[in-house]
C-alpha cells in the first residue's frame, strides 16, 4: 500500500457512498458502493485470509482510489450502476444488454409512427421496448405483432409518395393510411396495443379491443369492428401456444442464481398475466470480489434499467446479507412508477416454488454450458501455446488486417479475442495515414503496429499475442515497429492463407500437374520454416477465426468509408450543393440510388434544394449511370 492510499484511508468518512479503485494508469478497475465507506474500502487493504485470489490480484493493481459521497443507500446504488455502465471496470460483473441486444423504438410524436429495431437507446422523444434477450425473440415478437395488427410497413418516402394502397392492405395487414382517411389517434392506439402484447399483457389487450369493437359496432363502423374482431382471434390463437398457464392475477419475475468457483449464472423467468412467456439467462466469470449478496443487487440494477418492471420480483436466494430490500426496490423503480414487491422465495406458496424450480433448472443449464465452453476454450488456448511454442497462454489475442482498394480509403482493423471469445468492445479501426497512391501493405502494417504499441504502452493493455494477417514480409514489417520499443516483450506471429501448389504425379511415364492447396501457415520470429496448421486442430480454429473476424471487420469499415466517399463525390460536382445539402439529401433518402430515383419534386422537399439545384442533381446522377 503506497503512502497516498494510506493517507486517504485515514481520512475516509463513515457515510454512504461509492468508491472506485484505480490502476497506475488511471484505469478504473472496480466500482462498489458502501453504507460505511471507511469500513468497506479499508477492508481491501487488511491482511485478511478471507480475501479471494481475485481480490488479492485487484489489490496488487490498486494505486489509487476515489470516493463519491451520497445521502442514502438508494443514491449509492443508482450512482454505482451509472459508474459501472460508464467505466466498464474489468473486475465488475457487467450486463451488456445495451450493446448486444436490440430494442423496439416508436416515436409516438410522429404523425404516423413506425416500429423500428435499434441497438441503442437515445435520449429523444421516442419510447423504447426491450431490450430483447436475442434477435430471435425479437423476430418472434415482431411476427406476432404483424399477425395481429395491421401496421405501416413502408418507409417514409414510399408512404408520402404512394398513389394507391399496396398489397398489404388487400391482405388486411395494413390500414392503408398512406391513401385512405384513417384517424391518426386510431392508428397510434393500435400501436400501443401492439406493444402491450409484446409485454405479455394479452388479456389487457383483448379487453381493450373488445371495448373498441363494441364502440365501433354501435357507431356502425362495421369494417373497423371486424378488424378488432380479427385481432382478438389472432391473440387467442397466439395465447394457446403459451403452455404454462397459471392464475391470471399472477405477474412477476423469478430470479434464480447458480454459482461455482468459476462461473455465475442467473436466469429470469417472466410471468405475465398468469403465463410463463419466456426467460433470459446470463453468465459471468466469477470476479472473486462479489458474493451473492453483492452480485444480485448489481444484476438487478442493470437488468431493470430501461426494462419493464413487473409488480413483483421473487429472488430464489437468501437475502439476509443483501441489505435493505426496500432500498434496492426503490433503486430499480423508474421515476413515477409504482415500487415492486421484492422478496425472497422462502415461505412463498404455490406456484412460486414451481416457477423457481424452472428458473433454477435454466440457470443450472446455462452455468454448465458456460463452464463447458470455458474449459474448451482453455484447452484450445493451451494447444495453441504448444503448437506455436509461446512463452505463455495467449488469453488476449489481437489480429491486425489491412483493407484497401487501389490505395483509396485504406483502413486497418484490430480485433481482440479474450479467452478465445470475441471482445467487440475492444475492436479498433485505424485510418492508414502514411500510405498514399499505390497500396503498400508493409508500410501500412509498420504504421498500424507502431500506433498500437504506443497506445498499449501508454494504457497498459498490450495483448499476449499479436497476429498479423500475411506472410513473412508482413511479419518483418511488424517486427520493425516492435524494435522501436526496446525492452518490450510481445509475442508476434503472422498467419498466411493457404495457397495453390502443383503436385507432380507420374503415370505411365506421363507427367501431369494435379493442383492442391497448402495448409495455412504461421510465421514466427527467428524461424525460417513456417508452422503448418492442420485443418480442424485447435490452433487452426482459433487463428483462422481471429483472422477471418479481422478481415470481416476491416472490409465492413472499408466498404462503409469507400461508399461514403463515393456517394459524396457524386454530389460534390453539382453546383450549389454544399456539404450541408449533401448530408441532408443522404439523411433524407438514405442512399445515392434513392436520390437518383426520386423526382425533382421529392428532391425539393429537402431544405436548400430548389428547382434549379434539383435539375442539376438529376442530370449529374443520370450522367453517372444512376
CA distances for 619 relative to 235, 548, 612, angstroms:
52, 42, 11
> Is 258 among the domain residues?
yes
Say whether pLDDT at 479 is over 90. Answer: yes
Residues 200 and 283 in one domain: no
Question: Residues 185, 304: one domain?
Answer: no
pLDDT single digits (tens) 331-349: 888 877 888 888 888 878 8
pLDDT band at 208 (very low <50, low <70, confident <90, very high): confident
- Whether pTM > 0.75 for this model: the answer is no
pLDDT at site 225: 83
Average pLDDT over residues 2-13: 81
* Cα gap 318→295, rounded to integer Å: 12
What is the distance between the alpha carbons of residues 104 and 119, in angstroms, rounded to a whole number? 9
Distance CA 451, CA 124 (A): 37
Does 271 have pLDDT greater than 90? no
Task: Give tens-digit pLDDT for 275-318.
Answer: 777 788 888 887 666 666 678 888 888 888 877 788 999 998 76
**pLDDT score of 462 more than 50:** yes
- Maximum alpha-carbon separation in the chain: 96
Q: Under a CB-based contact definition with an 8 Å cutoff, are residues 538 and 379 in contact?
A: yes
Q: Give the pLDDT of residue 53.
A: 62
| Residue 414 and residue 519 in one domain | yes
Contacts for 242-251: CB closer than 8 Å, 24+ residues apart: 242/275, 242/276, 242/277, 244/275, 244/276, 244/358, 245/274, 245/275, 246/271, 246/274, 246/275, 246/276, 246/351, 247/274, 247/351, 248/203, 248/273, 248/274, 249/274, 250/274, 250/351, 251/310, 251/311, 251/312
Mean per-residue pLDDT, 510-535:
79
pLDDT at 510: 46
Same domain, 298 and 229: no
Residue 427 is part of which domain span?
396-559
pLDDT surpassing 60 at residue 414: yes
Specify the higher pLDDT residue, 319 or 39. 39
Quick one: pLDDT band at residue 83, thresholds 50, 70, 90?
A: confident
Question: Are residues 301 and 349 part of one domain?
Answer: yes
Percentage of the chain beyond pLDDT 70 is: 82
* In contact, 302 and 85? CB cutoff 8 Å: yes
CB contact at 8 A, 449 and 462 = no
Name residues whose C-beta falls within 8 Å of residue 89's C-beta, 6 or more positions apart in sequence: 20, 28, 29, 30, 31
* CATH number of the domain within which 447 lies: 3.30.420.340
Distance CA 479, CA 488 (A): 11
- Of 197 and 568, more confident: 197
How close are the terminal C-alpha atoms of the chain, in Å? 68
Asked if 407 and 536 sit in the same domain, the reply is: yes
Q: Same domain for 234 and 300?
A: no
Residue 379 falls within a domain, yes or no?
Answer: no
Residue 321 has a pLDDT of 59
Q: Which residues are CB-neighbours of 52 under 8 A, at least 6 positions away?
A: 288, 289
Report the side by side order of strands in the sheet with 64-69.
Answer: 28-34, 17-22, 64-69
Indicate the pLDDT class of residue 390, thresholds 50, 70 and 90: very high
Check whether residue 103 and residue 224 sit in a common domain. yes
Residue in 521, 445, 524 with CA at minimum distance from that of residue 491:
524
Task: Give the pLDDT of residue 130.
Answer: 63
Q: Coil, strand, or helix at residue 161? A: coil
Query: Per residue in 113-152, pLDDT tens?
Result: 888 887 776 777 788 876 665 555 566 667 767 767 888 8
240 and 215 Cβ atoms separated by less than 8 Å: no
Assigned domain for 381 exists: no
Lowest mean pLDDT among 9-13, 52-56, 376-380: 52-56
Q: How far is CA 519 from CA 499, 537, 540, 575, in A?
A: 8, 12, 10, 55
Q: Would you state the pLDDT for residue 507? A: 47
Domain boundary (186, 207, 240) is at 240
CATH number at residue 577: 1.10.150.20
pLDDT at res. 243 = 45
CA distance 214 to 203: 17
Question: Do 406 and 547 have their domain in common?
Answer: yes
Instruction: Name which of 416, 414, 468 is nearest 441 in CA terms.
Output: 468
Checking if the pLDDT of 204 tops 70, the result is yes
In this prediction, residue 445 has a pLDDT band, given cuts at 50, 70 and 90, of very high
- Which residue, of 66, 92, 118, is where some domain finishes? 92
The predicted pLDDT at position 602 comes to: 81
CA distance 451 to 400: 12
Question: Does an H or E element contain 198, and which?
Answer: helix 184-198
Strand-pairing partners, residue 469, are: 495
Of 77, 92, 107, which closes a domain?
A: 92
Confidence of residue 625 (pLDDT cuts 50, 70, 90): low
What pLDDT shows up at residue 622? 74
pLDDT digits (tens, 9 = 90+) for 229-259: 877 776 666 555 444 556 667 888 999 999 8
pLDDT value, residue 617:
85
What is the per-residue pLDDT for 501?
Answer: 56
The percent of residues in the chain predicted with pLDDT above 90, rounded, is 18
Mean pLDDT, the chain, rounded, equals: 81
Residue 600 near residue 618, CB atoms below 8 Å: yes
Within a domain: 246: no
> Span 361-375, mean pLDDT?
89
Whole-angstrom Cα distance, residue 161 to residue 155?
10
Q: Provide the pLDDT for residue 503.
A: 46
Domain count, the chain: 5
Amino acid at each position: 500500500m503506497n503512502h497516498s492510499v494510506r493517507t486517504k484511508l485515514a481520512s475516509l468518512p463513515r457515510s454512504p457512498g461509492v468508491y472506485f479503485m484505480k490502476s497506475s494508469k488511471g484505469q478504473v478497475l472496480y466500482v462498489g458502493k458502501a453504507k460505511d465507506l471507511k469500513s468497506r474500502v479499508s477492508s481491501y487493504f487488511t491482511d485478511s485470509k478471507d480475501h479471494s485470489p481475485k481480490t488479492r490480484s485487484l489489490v496488487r493493481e490498486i494505486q489509487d482510489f476515489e470516493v463519491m459521497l451520497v445521502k442514502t443507500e438508494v443514491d449509492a446504488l443508482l450512482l454505482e450502476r451509472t459508474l459501472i455502465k460508464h467505466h466498464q471496470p474489468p473486475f465488475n460483473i457487467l450486463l451488456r444488454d445495451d450493446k448486444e441486444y436490440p430494442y423496439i423504438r416508436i416515436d409516438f410524436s410522429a404523425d404516423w409512427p413506425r416500429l423500428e429495431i435499434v441497438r441503442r437507446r437515445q435520449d429523444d422523444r421516442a419510447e423504447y421496448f426491450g431490450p430483447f434477450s436475442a434477435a430471435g425473440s425479437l423476430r418472434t415478437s415482431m411476427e406476432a405483432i404483424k399477425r395481429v395488427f395491421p401496421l405501416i410497413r413502408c418507409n417514409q418516402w414510399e408512404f408520402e409518395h404512394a398513389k394507391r394502397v399496396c398489397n398489404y392492405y388487400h391482405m388486411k395487414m395494413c390500414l392503408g393510411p398512406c391513401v385512405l382517411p384513417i384517424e391518426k389517434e386510431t392508428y397510434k392506439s393500435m400501436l400501443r396495443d401492439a406493444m402491450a402484447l409484446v409485454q405479455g399483457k394479452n388479456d389487457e389487450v383483448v379487453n381493450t379491443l373488445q371495448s373498441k369493437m363494441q364502440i365501433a359496432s354501435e357507431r356502425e363502423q362495421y369494417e373497423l369492428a371486424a378488424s378488432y374482431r380479427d385481432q382478438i382471434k389472432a391473440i387467442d390463437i397466439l395465447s394457446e401456444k403459451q403452455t404454462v398457464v397459471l392464475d391470471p392475477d399472477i405477474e412477476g419475475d423469478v430470479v434464480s442464481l447458480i454459482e461455482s468457483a468459476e462461473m455465475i449464472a442467473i436466469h429470469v423467468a417472466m410471468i405475465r398475466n398468469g403465463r410463463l412467456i419466456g426467460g433470459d439467462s446470463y453468465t459471468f466469470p466469477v470476479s472473486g470480489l462479489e458474493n451473492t449478496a453483492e452480485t444480485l443487487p448489481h444484476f438487478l440494477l442493470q437488468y431493470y434499467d430501461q426494462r419493464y418492471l413487473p409488480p413483483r420480483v421473487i429472488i430464489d436466494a437468501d437475502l439476509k446479507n443483501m441489505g435493505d430490500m426496500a432500498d434496492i426496490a426503490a433503486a430499480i423503480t423508474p421515476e413515477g412508477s409504482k415500487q415492486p414487491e421484492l422478496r425472497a422465495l422462502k415461505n412463498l406458496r404455490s406456484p412460486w416454488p414451481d416457477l423457481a424450480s424452472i428458473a433454477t433448472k435454466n440457470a443450472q443449464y446455462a452455468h454448465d454450458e458456460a463452464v463447458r465452453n470455458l474449459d474448451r476454450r482453455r484447452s484450445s488456448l493451451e494447444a495453441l501455446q504448444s503448437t506455436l511454442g509461446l512463452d505463455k497462454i495467449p488469453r488476449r489475442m489481437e489480429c491486425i488486417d489491412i483493407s484497401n482498394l487501389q490505395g483509396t480509403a485504406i483502413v486497418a482493423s484490430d480485433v481482440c479475442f479474450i479467452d478465445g471469445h470475441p471482445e467487440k468492445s475492444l475492436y479498433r479501426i485505424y485510418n492508414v495515414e502514411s500510405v498514399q497512391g499505390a497500396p503498400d501493405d508493409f508500410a501500412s502494417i509498420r504504421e498500424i503496429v507502431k500506433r498500437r504499441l504506443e497506445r498499449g504502452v501508454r494504457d497498459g493493455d498490450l495483448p499476449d499475442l499479436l497476429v498479423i494477417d500475411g506472410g513473412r514480409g508482413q511479419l518483418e514489417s511488424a517486427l520493425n515497429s516492435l524494435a522501436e520499443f526496446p525492452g518490450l516483450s510481445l509475442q508476434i506471429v503472422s498467419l498466411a492463407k493457404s495457397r495453390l501448389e502443383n503436385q507432380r504425379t507420374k503415370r505411365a511415364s506421363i507427367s501431369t500437374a494435379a493442383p492442391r492447396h497448402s495448409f495455412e501457415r504461421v510465421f514466427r520470429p527467428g524461424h525460417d520454416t513456417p508452422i503448418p496448421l492442420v485443418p480442424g486442430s485447435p490452433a487452426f480454429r482459433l487463428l483462422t477465426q481471429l483472422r477471418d473476424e479481422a478481415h470481416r471487420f476491416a472490409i465492413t469499415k472499408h466498404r462503409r468509408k469507400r461508399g461514403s466517399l463515393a456517394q459524396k463525390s457524386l454530389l460534390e460536382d453539382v453546383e450549389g450543393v454544399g456539404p450541408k445539402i449533401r448530408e441532408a439529401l443522404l439523411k433524407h433518402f438514405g442512399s445515392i440510388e434513392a436520390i437518383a430515383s426520386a423526382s425533382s419534386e421529392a428532391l425539393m422537399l429537402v431544405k436548400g434544394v430548389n428547382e434549379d439545384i434539383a435539375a442539376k442533381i438529376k442530370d449529374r446522377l443520370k450522367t453517372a449511370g444512376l
